[in-house]
Amino acid sequence: MCGGSEKSKISIHTDGDNEGEIMFRSKIFKAGLILLIVGVSPLLLYVLYEFVTGATGGNPIGLGLLFFVTFWPAVIMMVIGVISALIAKKNANSGK
């Protein structure tokens, strides 16, 4: 450590795949994530706008309905995507 220029690298991956890569291989997980972003972000942006500007009196019923209709289907799709990706990984590892 006395003025050395070498950098140490620590690698924990055993098979080259981490959980994030496994989840994003699943198309249903990606679809659920996109649905979550599309359904939740308008209401969150509206709430942020009201918080920043101090504007009151608005009634974002349409944005609330969009959130209500998209949130749970998106979460369910993401859970199904994670489970199917883990099953596919398990099947791929058992075939080795």
pLDDT in tens, 37-65: 999 999 999 999 999 998 888 889 999 99
Residue with more model confidence, 26 or 44: 44
pTM over 0.75: no
The answer to whether 70 and 35 have CB atoms below 8 angstroms apart is yes
Q: What is the DSSP string of 19-38?
A: HHHHHHH-HHHHHHHHHHHH
Give residue 18's pLDDT band: very low, low, confident or very high (50, 70, 90). low
